[in-house]
Structure 1
Amino acid sequence: MLKHPKILILDDSTSAVDTKTDAKIRKGMREFIPETTKIIIAQRTSSIENDDRIIVMESGSIDAVGSHEQLLKTNKIYQEIHNSQNKAGDNSEK
């Protein structure tokens, strides 16, 4: 059981779970350890879209920093990742 850490680092920790379970994990962290600083390394944009700050990296360098909404408007890398993940099911009939 977690004992309310000051900082929690999660390295792609929800990549092997479905999106429903991922949402439950994120909700649990918000409710049970809201004061904990969380550093989440994720490949799914849905895993981080409600986070305060998202850092987009490419080739080991920071490409952009912002909220989900800001990055969708301004960052091509984030837009491409988000769009590819959210349109994956839409292309099955085409």
Structure 2
Amino acid sequence: MCGFRLGCRLLPAAWGRGYATEAAVALVEAAFAELDAERVVGTTMAVNSASRRVLERAGLRHVRTFFEDWPDPIPGSEHGDVVHELTRTEWAARRTP
């Protein structure tokens, strides 16, 4: 099994313009259509509602919340991190009319 990890941060001036969603949708499409991935997984901090919305708009669904004991925690880390995913089967079902 092969995996890829990608992260991004946008400058505040670019927030709310749809760039992250557009990129996430394109990456999901490429993962399934070109790379033959079986699933796409995304993670973010539970308190990061904007990133969670990007994952949801890209078709991923929340599957779990987890808590790590980070060596240098940042504000909000006490609320945990969330995992979202989309399987190939779910993706294909959404594409079928």
User: Under TM normalisation by the shorter chain, which class is it?
Assistant: 0.3 to 0.5
Give the number of the structure with larger relative contact order, counting CA–CA contacts within 8 Å between residues 6 or more apart.
Answer: 2
TM-score by length of 2: 0.37
TM-score by length of 1: 0.37
